Each structure stands twice: as C-alpha cells, then as structure tokens.
Amino acid sequence: MSSIVVLGAGIMATALATPLSDNGLVQAAGVLSAAPGRVGLDGSSGLVITDPTPEAAGSLVARDRARIELQADGVGPGTTSDGHRVQVLANVGTLDDALLASRADVEGVGLFRTEFLFPDREQPPSVAEQTEAYTRVFDAFAGRKVVVRTLDAGADKPLAFANLGEEANPALGVRGLRLHRELRHLLDDQLEALAAARRSTSADVWVMAPMVATPSEASWFAALGRAAGLPTVGTMIEIPAAALRSGQVLADCDFASIGTNDLSQYLFAADRMDGRLAPLLSGWQPALWSTIRACVSGAAGKPVGICGEIAGDPLLALVATGAGVSSLSMATARTGLVRAALRRHDLATCTAMLQAVLDADSPEEARSAVVTLADRELALVLG
C-alpha cells in the first residue's frame, strides 16, 4: 500500500461535499496510474491511499460509518455541552451552492464569496443583475444571517473585469480591498446592489471587505458601507498586521471574520496554491493560533468568526471555540460533524485544547495533544 499526502486549498472540492482534510485536495500524484477502484480517500487525514489492503479499505469504510452516526447528533444551533454558543454557518460561492446550503441545518452564511457569481465575465455585472442574484440568496436565507464579502478579485481569484494588468507577485499585489480603491465603481455598484437586495428581504445581512491591512482601510470601507445603507459592516482578517491590531482595525466596524487560508499564507510566507508548502499552511501551526488568539482578544468583545477552511475541521473548531470565536463558517457538508464535536465538549476543554496548541512545538505535537483531550469516539472517527 502506498499513501500520497494530498495538500493545498480545495475550497471548491470541499464545497461540493467531498470529505477532505482541512487543506483539501489539489495534488495527488500517482492516483491516475492506480488500478480502477483501487483508490481510497481518507477525508479525515487528507490521505489518498492507492491499492489499499482489504483491512485498510475495511477500516476506512468503518470509520466513515462511525462518522455518519456521530454527525447525526450534530443538529440545531452550534453549542458546547455546557451551552456556550458558537454559530455554525456555511461558506457559499455560487447560487446553487447558496440554495443548497439554505436547505441544510445551518444558522446562516458566514462567507458569501461574491466573486464566484461572476467568474467568466469580460464586463462587470450591472447593479440590477447583482441585485437580483443577491436577492435570491437573501430570500433563501430569510430570517437568517448572511455575511457577504465584497469582490475579492486578484491572485487566486482572477476576474477579467477587475484586473489592472500583470503583477510580479499577485498575492502581494493590488487585490481585494486594494482593488476596490482603484476601481471604485465596482465597489459602489456592489454596495448599492447589496443594499437594494437587503431592503427587500428579511435576511440579516452583514457585509465585509477582503484583504484589509490597516485601521484606515477598514474605516474607509465601513463608512462607504454605512453610507450605502448597510448597517452591519466589518472586515476580513487575512493579513497578520490586521490580526495584531484588531482593536484599531475594528474601531469603526461591527465585526471581523478571520480568513485563515490567506492569514496562513501571509503569516508563513507560503503560497497557498503550492501543494509543496502545505505543511506550513497546516491549521495546526501553533503560530497561527497565537495570531488568532491575539486577534480575538484585541477585538474586545466584538464578534470575530473564522471562515477559512480550518473552521470545518472538528478538532480545530474546538480549538477555535477555546480561542473565543463567535462563529465558525465552513462548507455545508462539514457542519454536522463540527456541531457534533461541539456538543461533546465543554468550554473548559476547548480552552485547554487551545492552550495545548499554544504550548506545542509543532503542528503534529499540537494535534496529538488535542486528540488526547478529545472525546474518544470523535478521536476514533478522525483517526
């Protein structure tokens, strides 16, 4: 039996309900040459196993059954066993994605990636077209929360109509909110459409900007959002500078959402699209959690969620709860197991898990310390 570690950011794959590791699947060398029917995917560890022995295949199937049973407990609002609330929300991109999530047992949307609505367009969508698309999503989530991210164009999400030309380092270039500042009409149109769509539905609409680095950028965006008629405005925290100064960054904002996919990329200077660097981008890196903890405590009580892929890892969701986050947003397919994990642990255990990660010297040590503190059935399912 040979195993191939699969690494990288598999956002779309995860959204399509494929069980994958926290980093998802972008690289699986050797899989295509395996005999048909001779590939196993261990969604907990992110291992692709080629030519598994009958025992290995049997154990994968048994663990999958146990996972399905365990996640049957994961219904209703997110809460720990002692009643500490953490909202469990869905990440959505396309309209289909949003409609599917709206029929699931989720408390709302924690990250609506609006750039996936208009991927193959040479010209920007009109205000009317955007209003219609947002209204459909908000209607589907009537009475629930929907956190919308304004266009995060650039780097890993190129959009033809929001492109200022070649850059040597697109991930460090004019992307996200930086592009909003250069192409103001795109932001103004989007805010106008979001405000119009919000007025016609009962969804609780929150709007946030991507790739904010400084307090003045966050305040600039918050003022524009409020002026457009959007009462709840916030920022993503994806850049270490913003995480470390969250109090100042949130001065004029209502909330923050930590995007750990990019936060890890910038914290470790490791391209999130390069599978070879995935160990640096592991959600178990202690330095990532030092940064998250600093961000949450700096926010002084304002809601701070996590909407990066790590929120969908049940053990990391517990660590995040210990760090004091108010919401966890993930691919819809992951919400059941995360809620089940929350219900099996109290807040004190989650706090101890965070401390164990902060005390660890490596991601491996961090994970094994948390597994030791975790409920046995959950630990067995996750392997």
Residues numbered 136 to 175 that lie near ligand PEP (CB under 6 A) are: 152
Give the side-chain half-sphere CA count within 13 A for 24.
24
Q: What are phi and psi of 145, to 5 degrees?
A: -85, 140
238 counts as binding ligand PEP under rule CB under 6 A? yes
Nearer to ligand PEP, 17 or 68 (CB): 17
- Alpha-carbon span 309 to 315, nearest angstrom: 13
Site string for Mg ion, 78-117 (x = CB under 5 A): ----------------------------------------
Among 80, 102, 131, 260, binds ligand PEP (CB under 6 A): 260
Does 259 participate in binding Mg ion (rule CB under 5 A)? Answer: yes
Q: Which is nearer to ligand PEP, 13 or 380 (CB)?
A: 13
From Mg ion, ligand PEP, none, interface partner of 307 (C-beta below 5 to 8 A by class)? ligand PEP
- Which one of Mg ion, ligand PEP, none interacts with residue 113, CB within 5 to 8 A by kind? ligand PEP
In whole angstroms, how close is the CB of 26 to ligand PEP at the nearest point?
13
Q: Identify what 107 binds: ligand PEP, Mg ion, none; CB under 5 to 8 Å per kind.
A: none
Question: Strand, coil or helix: what is 118?
Answer: coil
Q: Does 282 bind ligand PEP (CB under 6 A)?
A: no
Q: Which of 6, 67, 74, 113 touches ligand PEP by CB under 6 A?
A: 113
Binding to ligand PEP by residue 312, rule CB under 6 A?
Answer: no
The yes or no reply on residue 111 touching ligand PEP (CB under 6 A) is: yes
| Region of 165 on the Ramachandran plot (φ > 0 left; ψ -120 to 50 alpha; else beta) | left
Size of the residue set binding ligand PEP (CB under 6 A)? 11
Long-range contacts of 223-228 (CB under 8 A, 24+ apart): 223/252, 224/187, 224/188, 224/191, 225/191, 228/188, 228/191, 228/192, 228/194, 228/195
Q: Read off the tokens for 369.
A: 């310390």
Which position's Cβ is nearest ligand PEP? 259
Q: If you compute the radius of gyration of the chain from its CA atoms, what whole number of angstroms results?
A: 20
Q: Which does 260 bind (CB under 5 to 8 A by kind): ligand PEP, Mg ion, none?
A: ligand PEP
DSSP 8-state secondary structure symbol assigned to residue 79: B
Q: Which does 22 bind (CB under 5 to 8 A by kind): ligand PEP, Mg ion, none?
A: none
Cα-based distances in Å from 78 to 67, 335, 337: 18, 9, 11
* Cβ atoms 148, 233 nearer than 8 A: no
- Residue 272 is given by DSSP the state T
Cβ distance to Mg ion smaller for residue 152 or 252: 152
**Distance between CA atoms of residues 280 and 268, nearest Å:** 7
Minimum CB separation of residue 63 from ligand PEP in Å reads 28
Considering Cα of 307, then 358, then 21, then 86, what sign does the dihedral take?
Answer: negative
Footprint on residues 3-22 left by ligand PEP (CB under 6 A): 11
Tokens representing 161?
């109509």
Binding test (CB under 5 A) with Mg ion, winner from 262, 271, 309, 313: 262
Spatial separation of the C-alpha atoms in residues 201 and 57, rounded to whole Å: 48
Task: Locate 205 and state its tokens.
Answer: 């609409």
Q: In this chain, which stretch among 139-147, 166-174, 258-266, 375-383 interacts with ligand PEP, using CB under 6 A?
A: 258-266
Binding site for Mg ion (CB under 5 A): 238, 259, 262
